[in-house]
């Protein structure tokens, strides 16, 4: 059996991912001007930022798993008898789709706690795709066993990632208000200084 998959949760460490979000948030807070505080309170601005930058774990819709119609294919296999490095035999291509709700980019993030066996799959807009190419005589019960074990591993990695997200969101909620309040104080002092200079502001 061969699989056409990519390792999930393997592109970027959570710490690096979280730092990029914090930098983006800090950049937006630094762009707040006096008019930003004229119609909204510090709490309201902080809440808006939290809604924008807090992280939500993707939710797998395991009850809605479906598959494409199997197709007949030719599979390349190693052959020590044919005198070639491979030969083609008849097989079947199965494609299973696991829908999910939420941000798909988090499937690229490696949690701080993980094992040495990352799950596999290809994330598309409609779900995680699992493609299996098997010989005609292959035991399909083994294919289902492989899929179930991989799904259990995906859930394990999501559980670990969820713990990271919860800690991140708690820290975010505490730090956003402080950062917005400090920005408001700074903007107010800047305007006070400009007013003492006596020149018009354009």
pLDDT digit string, tens, across residues 15-69: 999 999 999 999 999 999 888 898 899 999 999 999 999 999 999 999 999 999 9
Residues of the chain above pLDDT 70, percent: 89
| Of 88 and 8, the one with more pLDDT | 8
Query: Do residues 75 and 87 touch, judged by C-beta distance below 8 A?
Result: no
Three-state secondary-structure class, residue 73: strand
Domain count for the chain:
1
Residues of the chain above pLDDT 90, percent: 67
Question: Has residue 84 been placed in a domain?
Answer: no
Question: Has residue 92 been placed in a domain?
Answer: no
- Rounded distance between C-alpha atoms, residue 178 and residue 174, angstroms: 7
The pLDDT value given to residue 30? 93
Question: Has residue 85 been placed in a domain?
Answer: no
The pLDDT value given to residue 68? 95
| Model pLDDT for residues 153-179, shown as the tens digit of each residue | 999 999 999 999 999 999 999 999 999
Question: Has residue 93 been placed in a domain?
Answer: no
Segments forming the whole domain that contains residue 110: 2-64+100-123+139-195
Segment 178-193 shows an average pLDDT of 86
Res. 84 pLDDT band, cuts 50 70 90: low
Question: Has residue 172 been placed in a domain?
Answer: yes
The yes-or-no verdict on residue 197 having pLDDT over 70 is: no
Alpha-carbon distance values, 133 to 5, 71, 87, 161 (Å): 11, 9, 15, 30
Res. 102 pLDDT band, cuts 50 70 90: very high
Residues 6+ positions from 116 with CB-CB distance below 8 Å = none
The chain-wide mean pLDDT, for the chain, equals 89
- Rounded distance between C-alpha atoms, residue 202 and residue 194, angstroms: 11
The yes-or-no verdict on residue 120 having pLDDT over 60 is: yes
Query: Do residues 94 and 131 touch, judged by C-beta distance below 8 A?
Result: yes
Question: Has residue 173 been placed in a domain?
Answer: yes
Segment 83-97 shows an average pLDDT of 80
The yes-or-no verdict on residue 82 having pLDDT over 60 is: no
Question: Has residue 176 been placed in a domain?
Answer: yes
Which pairing describes strands 12-13 and 109-110: parallel, antiparallel, or unpaired? parallel
């Amino acid at each position: 059996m061969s699989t056409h998959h990519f390792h999930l949760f393997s592109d970027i460490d959570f710490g690096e991912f979280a730092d990029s979000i914090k930098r983006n948030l800090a950049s937006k807070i630094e762009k707040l001007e006096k008019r930003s505080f004229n119609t909204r309170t510090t709490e309201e601005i902080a809440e808006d930022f939290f809604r924008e930058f807090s992280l939500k774990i993707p939710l797998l819709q395991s009850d809605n798993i479906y598959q494409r119609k199997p197709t007949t294919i030719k599979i390349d296999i190693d052959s020590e008898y044919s005198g070639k490095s491979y030969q083609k035999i008849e097989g079947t291509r199965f494609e299973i789709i696991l829908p999910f709700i939420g941000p798909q980019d988090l499937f690229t993030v490696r949690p701080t706690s993980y094992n040495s066996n990352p799950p596999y799959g290809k994330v598309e807009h409609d779900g995680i795709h699992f493609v299996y190419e098997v010989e005609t005589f292959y035991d399909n019960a083994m294919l289902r066993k492989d899929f179930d074990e991989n799904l259990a591993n995906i859930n394990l990695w999501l559980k670990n990632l969820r713990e990271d997200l919860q800690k991140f969101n708690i820290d975010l909620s505490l730090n956003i208000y402080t950062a917005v309040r400090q920005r408001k104080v700074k903007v107010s002092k800047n305007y006070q200084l400009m007013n003492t200079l006596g020149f018009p502001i354009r």
